[in-house]
Structure 1
Amino acid sequence: MQTLAVPELIDTPAPGRRRVLRHWRGALLLAVACAVLAAAWQLARPAAADMLADAMPPELAAQAGQDMLRELDIHTLLPSELDGARQQRISSAFASLQAPHEGAPRHRLLFRSGHAGATAFTLPSGDIIVTDALLRALPDDGAVLAVLAHELGHLHRSHMLRRLTQEAMLPAAASIVFGNTDWLVSSVGARVPQLAWPPQAEIEADDYAADLLEHNGLSLRNLAEVQEVLSRQGSAQRAYLAIHPPCADRLAHQRERSAL
């Protein structure tokens, strides 16, 4: 007659069984503790990144942005091929906007072309980069000003600096301690044009842009129009949407502001 196999643990003497059970209990507790610590770190990570960003001296943040721009100009960006008259028209229109509330952060508008696609992004140095491909994809200068106002909102809230410290916390901490941004730039600088914003950052930048446009008598409809126009175009024109995702909450918030 065939007999059933008896689990090895049953054949183990009682002291041995207790050791095996203690081993598995210890392993389970360790796994649970690791999971709890990992979850706690994910919750604490944004706050820790904000603390690092707040601790970084403004001149060091500006140096990091300048170094990142230099690296991007070498490897990713090219000089703009946009007509000089249009560059001047956009620059003048953007510079003429009167900032709401406490004023606009120091900034510099730069035009570029290259491998980044149709996009716009900010650097901690106050540089706002907009590409030829994005300018060609937008329907008019009103939409362009809406994009630039949105980027100014990111700069106003120091979103890029906070995003960089979250992406590379150890290099950011080393930059603060040693007063040198080389490690931070080499760690994350090349990825700046691809860093996507979380929904809350997008809504905050939209709110600043809406205040700026409204303060200057410009239509808030342009904010939502940018998302709608680019979403109807080909993949080459959607680089901007990849880092500025038009989530439902954001679009609803834009429409609500436009309706006021």
Structure 2
Amino acid sequence: MKRDISDLLRIMAQLRDREQGCPWDIEQDFASIAPYTIEEAYEVADAIDRGDFPALRDELGDLLLQVVFHARMAEEAGHFDFGEVVAAICDKMWRRHPHVFGEASVPDAAAQTELWEAIKRRERGDAGDASALAGVARGLPEWQRALKLQLRAAHTGFDWPDAHAVLDKLREEIGEVAAEVDAGEAPGSQRLLDEVGDLLFVAVNLARKTGVDVSAALRHANRKFERRFRAMEALADEEGRPLAERSLEDQEALWQRIKR
């Protein structure tokens, strides 16, 4: 049977029905659903990363459900409904693409990006916050928020000249972390939090200046570590002595064998 968005809206309305709906769905609110929304977005990204299009179809459906869920709760509270969500994004796309829907023209994608950012800055200024950092959401993963803050600052000219300058700063930050560790600073202390935070912030800057996608790099590193660690476990089991029963030196030797 062919389905469309109206079917999904009806399903969500029935799930939220106070008398005949699903108890779990009924008791949810915006805050309780928000983590699921974030999780579903990451699952969409994972399906894309794996090139799994059947999974992508399903994950996009799960993400759409999140939008419908939030819109339904907003409608129940008298804030807005799904139609207004659609209208808002349609208006935004129309407004931010004057080169497509209006008289403006842009020669290439880079110029279009500049136009897009200029329109967004004007909108933020109209909303009462003219800072270059306005509108960077606090709910983003912190590495992503760091990247957006850096990009906004760079747009004003406040930026490292090249990757070499960032590498120098990274070495400096590593030295400052090492100094706190050598001084016996307690694990988790405010001083270490500050210094490690600076180190991570500069690392994001390094990825940006070298043209590396931070999320993709971390995914790659995670997959590589997991692949190698699982291989270590398997090799240790084959030799009759589980990984957890070995010394750190033995574990390191296994790690080097796997890498080779």
TM superposition score category, shorter chain reference: under 0.3
Instruction: State the TM-score, normalized to the length of structure 1.
Output: 0.22
Larger helix proportion, structure 1 or 2?
2
Instruction: State the TM-score, normalized to the length of structure 2.
Output: 0.22
Larger strand proportion, structure 1 or 2?
1
Higher relative contact order (CA 8 A, sep 6+): 1
